[in-house]
Structure 1
């Protein structure tokens, strides 16, 4: 099992990422994208039975919504006007039952849709997380964590609103509108035409609103992603911020993205605040016109009072669905923006994929070979490795040294196939790593990174991360071999001590020892030690070196270190400069050569950092 957690040096700062991923990408697409809708609707298929019941409940509610005003007409014209008390009692009971049925069917519909919505939310987030978990390191190197979190939390939530509620609301409102129009025309054509006079104005207002709403709601999705991204970065870097007393600078940077989010939301809300009162005004105008002309018709004896009351009720109900549809449109705008971004993530294939005919990696002996390997992080990026050729025999300790950015970590990452080579091939025991399943390879490769990443949970859970089935005795034995047992049992809860945020309750050396114990428990055949003893105090380094000696016994190791004193006993040292192997040999041979290694050694001897 490999445990590498970290970033790749890509030479791109937060500004670049925010501009490319958090802004420009947000503004692609259409107000209504059929492709996005089809893809999103596929998430509803497993819930079709529940949705069918909700649909039936919606039809019942729609029918009762249309029936109730007509019952009022009958009550006024057939019973109240004729002093028919028994008939009035009957129609009152029927109307009461209709209202109860309306409330029950509406409540049932909302309950079922909310239930589907929560399941849908859970499924979409799980699918998105699973895909993010399988994406290659190259994706995570170039995407801000907070923006990715925004995709999983915010964008999925707004998509869920549209999928679980929006489509059935649209159908129900459409049925109500069609039913009201049919009933009004069947009762009185003149009043129906008067009631619908404002509809063209309403359509015009909706078209104008839609034209401006798309960009506004896309910007709200973009800006909230930038806020989350900025916040995540600054929380993660709080130690550095405080160490350099840059709280004010960082606060101002957050205020800028926060203001942008505020302005984007105000802009979107302003459009809604203009549009919704316009719809309300037109609704009121239609009601006033019906009341005026209908009242005159009642006085003239052309229309019954019951028809006028029913018309006023239908007009009120007619504009409610239109208002709901306008709100649904704003939800759709936001969901389309979020949906495009979520689908962009789901449609991003991992750069490193198992071939269709990939096989399980057999038990590794430990021979590593690079044949004419060149590598670039992106197709449009410069090469960072050029024609690398090296062979590390089983059980050999190979050290990679060189200036920062020379390509040492890249070589180590290619050995574990965290990235795909651009040219050439990486072979383990003579097998091209592209022909085997990634998991079967990485389960036999252990990585002890410089940044000792520990997960939330207990110390024991972190040690057995690569082997969840390991017994307590095996966990303790691994900790003993890693020189971690003594400090662990000195803690109040021993192996059950919880790891705090950023492992703040452990020293850097203690975290490193736990990472070594984690690697020991997996018992890998190949080890990658990426600056494993950098930034460690002398006492901790001695403990770590002892633990590493036990770990390295009989295993092939790639050791990356800036401090040359830690790799003087390596079987072979490769000196990397500008992505090329410029020297190779043992420590004494390279010193005698008088080349780059000798220069690096001389600088370090003088106390300079290599």
Structure 2
């Protein structure tokens, strides 16, 4: 994912740009400073060619004066030229500050050059300071944006992540913020300088010679037409480039995540073929996009050279006629370069800015995503401490608006009792405990904890009372001790070891070289599936919750370990309300109540013996599993 290309085109360029500018408000002092320093740097840089033009005049006047006869005045020399019919030469000499017979005035020349050097040094220092300010503004903006993303991810409902591929969310949080930072870093300072340069240079050009300025501006419409045509032709290719990049990233993420499955089913060839297809499409669109957009720079340079040629010819004629000094023409030619360069830079930044703003747009889409309902301003609490009585009252829920999953479900669970939930895949077993955890909000009815509606409680307060062991054993890249203590950060080493012993983790941890300080890689790859699951069970032991949820917690452990875990779990369940989601019916025979769910409804409930005697759905499920076990034996 780190190599993902940025998006190409923003849907709402103006709106997103204004939002980015509003995001810079905390750095408005630095922004004003950057503008002031940019104006100083640009103004002095623009003044430089004019000062150097005066140096050229001093040299040229000295060269011309040295060739004129000594002992006469400039007026006498000009009059003599006119008498000889050299009116053009006479006009040129009359406009110059020459002294016949005198060469270059080096004192005056050094003074002019010293001024030019001072101007350029100060402009350089102001540019350095402006770059520092611009860097601070951009990095602080992106820093806050990353903070906002982190906070936002914790506020998004589980349903958001169900609908968004993990790679897409990761790309918005990392690639798009990085692309935005790089784009702003490259363009913010350059854009300020370019705009100020265009304004300042244009003003100087008009001041020196309105005629030459008009000639220089003739090529502007042509530049605009070229930039527009290139942008229109490159846009579809950039859009295709980003679309194929998303497909390629999604495929790579899936193949890496499911590498074991790909290997197990021998699908490497098909995976490689799909990769080649997406990669070839990305190559084609990227090549065309970069090829077309690459035309911009050479085209603008060609127009700039045409501009230079016109100014040089007309300027030379103006010097010959005495209408302008040679220094002014030299300065003007430099200004045409300075004028066309920022125009070229702004045109070249167009695609880059579009890409950066598009990345900002994607980040803002994430930040604007609908959050889970906020906790009440004054959340309710359970008086006298949580005892663990849970009630589902006419609860309804649906993932999709027109597809009901659970309808009018009623369930009362007494404190300290164990409720086992069984049923076929998709019956709503895990959904039931997700509703209790408020990972999803009920669409009808309510769930109460000791008589208090959990919707009126804060999520943190509710979840502190619940310990969860999921079917997917997720571990963090940290030591085994840190993973066990994840739900109780202030636990002592003795408490961690006690929880590990209760979950039968201690027996294999002692065999590791670093014991409890052994660092687990990202997904626990250096432990077996059963060992990872045992660590998550130890985590729940240490949290010591009032309500315990075991969602297929023993699905990854062997039969012997399952017996040990079941004994430890029985001790943990003592005095606690427990919900056990299980497919292995042999693991929940001792449950106080067994709920049989089908299509989001409870079709049976009772003890194991009572349900077997009833001969209903549970009895059929149990008989099917028992028959399968006998057949396997």
For normalisation by structure 1, the TM-score amounts to 0.91
> For residue 71 of structure 1, what is the aligned residue in structure 2?
51
Contact 1:57 1:109 in 2 (8 A): yes
CA distance in 1, matches of 2:529, 2:588: 21
Q: Which moves more between the two structures, 488-497 or 302-311?
A: 302-311
Give the Å deviation of 1:222: 4.0
> For residue 26 of structure 2, what is the aligned residue in structure 1?
46
1:277-292 matches, cutoff 5 A: 277-292=298-313
Contact 2:231 2:293 in 1 (8 A): no
> For residue 207 of structure 1, what is the aligned residue in structure 2?
228
CA distance in 2, matches of 1:578, 1:217: 46
CA distance in 2, matches of 1:434, 1:220: 45
Q: Which moves more between the two structures, 165-174 or 591-600?
A: 165-174
CA distance in 2, matches of 1:151, 1:443: 31
Q: Indicate whether 1:58 and 2:80 are aligned.
A: no
Q: Indicate whether 1:267 and 2:288 are aligned.
A: yes
CA distance in 2, matches of 1:183, 1:282: 21
Change (3 A) 1:500 1:463: same
Q: What is the SS of the residue equivalent to 2:596?
A: strand
CA distance in 2, matches of 1:552, 1:287: 87
CA distance in 2, matches of 1:80, 1:28: 53
CA distance in 1, matches of 2:590, 2:609: 10
Change (3 A) 1:587 1:352: farther
Change (3 A) 1:469 1:41: farther
Q: Indicate whether 1:189 and 2:210 are aligned.
A: yes
For normalisation by structure 2, the TM-score amounts to 0.88
Picking from 1, 10, 14, the partner of 1:33 is 14
Contact 2:388 2:414 in 1 (8 A): yes
1:541-556 matches, cutoff 5 A: 541-556=562-577
Change (3 A) 1:27 1:397: farther
Picking from 177, 199, 206, the partner of 1:178 is 199
> For residue 575 of structure 1, what is the aligned residue in structure 2?
596
CA distance in 2, matches of 1:543, 1:96: 84
Contact 1:463 1:515 in 2 (8 A): yes
CA distance in 1, matches of 2:414, 2:134: 61
Give the Å deviation of 1:181: 1.2
CA displacement 1:320-366 (0-9 Å, x = unmatched): 11122123321221123222221111111223432334345553211
Q: Which moves more between the two structures, 171-180 or 258-267?
A: 258-267
CA distance in 2, matches of 1:155, 1:259: 23
1:407-446 matches, cutoff 5 A: 407-446=428-467
CA distance in 1, matches of 2:511, 2:52: 80
> For residue 10 of structure 1, what is the aligned residue in structure 2?
none
Unaligned runs of 5+ in 1: 1-21
> For residue 501 of structure 2, what is the aligned residue in structure 1?
480
Change (3 A) 1:447 1:350: same
Q: What is the SS of the residue equivalent to 1:406?
A: coil
Q: What is the SS of the residue equivalent to 1:498?
A: coil
Contact 1:361 1:441 in 2 (8 A): no
Q: Which moves more between the two structures, 556-565 or 281-290?
A: 281-290
Unaligned runs of 5+ in 2: 63-103
Contact 1:51 1:113 in 2 (8 A): yes
Cα RMSD after superposing both structures: 2.3
Q: Indicate whether 1:371 and 2:424 are aligned.
A: no
Q: What is the SS of the residue equivalent to 2:313?
A: helix
Give the Å deviation of 1:212: 4.4
CA distance in 2, matches of 1:242, 1:46: 52
Give the Å deviation of 1:237: 1.0
CA distance in 2, matches of 1:73, 1:318: 17
Give the Å deviation of 1:219: 4.3
Give the Å deviation of 1:131: 0.7
Q: What is the SS of the residue equivalent to 2:374?
A: coil
Structure 1 runs of 4+ with >6 Å offset:
none
Q: Indicate whether 1:598 and 2:619 are aligned.
A: yes
1:505-520 matches, cutoff 5 A: 505-520=526-541
CA displacement 1:249-299 (0-9 Å, x = unmatched): 222223333334333433332231122221111111111111122223333
Q: Which moves more between the two structures, 534-543 or 581-590?
A: 534-543
Aligned residues: 584
Q: What is the SS of the residue equivalent to 2:474?
A: coil
Q: What is the SS of the residue equivalent to 1:584?
A: strand
Change (3 A) 1:52 1:543: farther
Give the Å deviation of 1:420: 0.5
Contact 2:304 2:340 in 1 (8 A): yes
Give the Å deviation of 1:129: 2.2
Q: Which moves more between the two structures, 333-342 or 569-578?
A: 333-342
> For residue 139 of structure 2, what is the aligned residue in structure 1?
118
Q: Which moves more between the two structures, 332-341 or 437-446?
A: 332-341
